[in-house]
């Protein structure tokens, strides 16, 4: 009898410990129902191959035509279509900036998400895949960089913006596309029309989308010690054609115009997602990623919301779209808030200075990266993650970063925060959840096996 009871207890403990050791117990319900995002063009193809999804998508597009959200949701057929599509790959799809079918991808994205937002959102979720690269990656790619490995005295006297233009001319693709936008943006149409702004914007978009960042960033974000250099930096995008106008429109009106265009709307949402000031990070940037912010800023050039330096000051960095908050009425507070995201943005300012100095900070984020206002579901089902931040990493290792930029001979920011030594702990983060699996914590296969061996010996002794 004792032997039988011992065997049953042994079997029960064996099954329990094996279930704890299995990978599924580590991942648990956090991964249940999670789908890896695909680009929206591919998601549309998958939906078209399924009759139920395809018909519901056509229904939703008809529902959104000329209707506001409340009117649409009052229609049961429209609501049913929306609920079905929330469980399809279309809901989680994202786009890549500069991809071959970018406009088509963005049109598909907004056809779903504009039906999910409740009115005009101040911050919209970015339709683009998250950026995982960092400034240090660009530094490694750049063959010549302002101040890197140079004599500090010589470097201080150099015009880094002029050096950036020379470096661009040494690259065939950069030289070709730069010459193209300079020619188009400087071409006078008539005595009353200085240039064709639409064509100028298109040429600028091609330059910043097709030329590698190690060239475009050097021209946009070069560090300056004098006014001549700062003015050259300001003139990079030919502002008399691409930026300035006779009068400054209201910033909220300009935002409204931008949001009528899928490309402009997407670039603005991406800027807010990657550059909105975060006071929970060392750098004031979401996930401490300067590269994501600078890329989003450059991505807005060539649209109605094109930003630029407001003056030729070499000491103060202030950028802004060509707009003001005059005539905002009772929306003045919202307008000022929108404008401050450009003019008084510590994340953007720190990112520009960091690139100019050739420095980067590589720290593990202490919390989840900034998430823009997410599109709500009409059901009570928890919404799936809109994106995977660059904090999501596989593998576990400890990396110590201690003034690595100094070891490379780079000029370090004067900021106290940026000269610190950091010890990184990269951990496994389950996609779509805040659950972190730390090394040497939680159940593992080795520990249950050892416990199982001990328990087996104990059970045998009891049996005997």
Render pLDDT for 422-445 as a digit per residue (tens, 0 to 9).
Answer: 333 333 333 333 333 333 444 344
* Comparison of pLDDT for 172 and 134, the residue scoring more: 172
DSSP assignment string, 397-427 = EEEEEESHHHHTTPPPPS-TGGGSEEEEEE-
Torsion of Cα atoms, 339 then 340 then 344 then 346, to 10°: -110
For residue 148, give both structure tokens.
Answer: 């890197």
Q: Which of 48-57, 225-234, 327-336 has the lowest mean pLDDT?
A: 48-57
Condensed to tens digits (0 to 9), the pLDDT of residues 237-283 reads 999 999 999 999 999 999 999 999 999 999 999 999 999 998 888 88
Contact 91, 384 (CB under 8 A): yes
d(CA 311, CA 303): 20
In contact, 149 and 157? CB cutoff 8 Å: no
- Say whether pTM exceeds 0.85: no
Q: Kindly tell me if the per-residue pLDDT of 324 is higher than 80.
A: yes
CB 113 within 8 A of CB 375: yes
Tokens 């330096």 map to which residue?
309
Instruction: Give the β-pairing of 307-309 and 397-402.
Output: unpaired
**Least confident stretch, 103-107, 234-238, 292-296, 457-461:** 457-461
Mean pLDDT to the nearest integer, 367-390: 39
Band (pLDDT 50/70/90 cuts) for residue 111 is: confident
Q: Which residue has the higher pLDDT, 422 or 154?
A: 154
Q: Does residue 359 or residue 18 have the better pLDDT?
A: 359
User: Quick one: pLDDT at residue 134?
Assistant: 80
- Which residue, among 432, 441, 236, 252, has the nearest Cα to 333 in the 3D structure? 252
With a cut of 60, say whether residue 178 has pLDDT above it: yes
* Structure tokens, 377: 């579901």
Residues 6+ apart with CB under 8 A from 185: 195, 200, 203, 204, 238, 241, 242
- Split at pLDDT 50, 70, 90, the class of 220 is very high
Q: What is the Cα–Cα distance from 396 to 375, expressed in whole angstroms?
A: 33
CB 326 within 8 A of CB 284: no
DSSP classification of residue 375 = P
Per-residue confidence (pLDDT) for residue 242, from 0 to 100: 96
* Strands annotated E in 201-251: none
Which of 32-46, 189-203, 216-230 is predicted least confidently? 32-46
DSSP state of 304: T
| 3-class SS of residue 437 | strand
């Amino acid at each position: 009898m004792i032997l039988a009871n011992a065997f049953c207890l042994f079997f029960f403990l064996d099954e329990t410990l094996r279930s704890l050791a299995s990978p599924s117990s580590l991942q648990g319900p956090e991964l249940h129902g999670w789908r890896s995002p695909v680009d929206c063009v591919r998601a549309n193809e998958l939906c078209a191959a399924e009759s139920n999804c395809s018909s519901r998508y056509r229904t939703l597009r008809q529902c959104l035509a000329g209707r506001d959200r409340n009117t649409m949701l009052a229609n049961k057929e429209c609501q049913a279509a929306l609920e079905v599509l929330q469980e399809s790959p279309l809901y989680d799809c994202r786009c890549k900036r500069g991809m071959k079918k970018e406009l088509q991808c963005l049109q598909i994205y907004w056809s779903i998400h504009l039906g999910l937002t409740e009115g005009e959102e101040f911050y919209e979720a970015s339709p683009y895949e998250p950026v995982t690269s960092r400034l240090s990656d660009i530094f490694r790619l750049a063959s010549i960089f302002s101040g890197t490995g140079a004599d500090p005295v010589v470097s201080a006297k150099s015009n880094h913006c002029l050096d950036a233009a020379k470096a661009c001319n040494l690259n065939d693709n950069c030289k070709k596309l730069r010459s193209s936008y300079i020619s188009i943006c400087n071409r006078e149409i008539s005595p009353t029309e200085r240039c064709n702004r639409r064509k100028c914007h298109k040429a600028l978009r091609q330059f910043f989308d097709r030329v590698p960042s190690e060239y475009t960033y050097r021209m946009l974000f070069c560090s300056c010690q004098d006014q001549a250099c700062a003015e050259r930096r300001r003139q990079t995008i030919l502002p008399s054609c691409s930026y300035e106008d006779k009068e400054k429109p209201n910033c909220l009106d300009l935002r409204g115009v931008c949001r009528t265009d899928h490309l402009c709307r997407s670039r603005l949402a991406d800027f807010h997602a990657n550059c909105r000031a975060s006071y929970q990070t060392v750098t004031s940037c979401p996930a401490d990623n300067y590269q994501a912010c600078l890329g989003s800023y450059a991505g807005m050039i060539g649209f109605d919301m094109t930003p630029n330096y407001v003056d030729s000051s070499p000491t103060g960095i202030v950028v802004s779209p060509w707009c003001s908050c005059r005539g905002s009425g009772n929306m003045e507070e919202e307008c000022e808030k929108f404008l401050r995201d450009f003019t008084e943005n510590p994340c953007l300012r720190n990112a520009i200075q960091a690139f100019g100095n050739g420095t980067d900070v590589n720290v593990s984020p202490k919390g989840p990266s900034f998430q823009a206002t997410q599109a709500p579901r009409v059901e009570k089902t928890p919404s799936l993650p809109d994106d995977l931040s660059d904090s999501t990493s596989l593998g576990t290792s400890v990396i110590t970063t201690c003034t690595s930029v100094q070891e490379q001979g780079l000029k370090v920011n004067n900021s106290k925060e940026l000269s610190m030594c950091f010890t990184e702990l990269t951990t496994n983060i389950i996609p779509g959840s805040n659950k972190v699996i730390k090394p040497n914590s939680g159940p593992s296969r080795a520990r249950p096996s050892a416990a199982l061996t001990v328990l087996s010996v104990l059970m045998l002794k009891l049996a005997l």
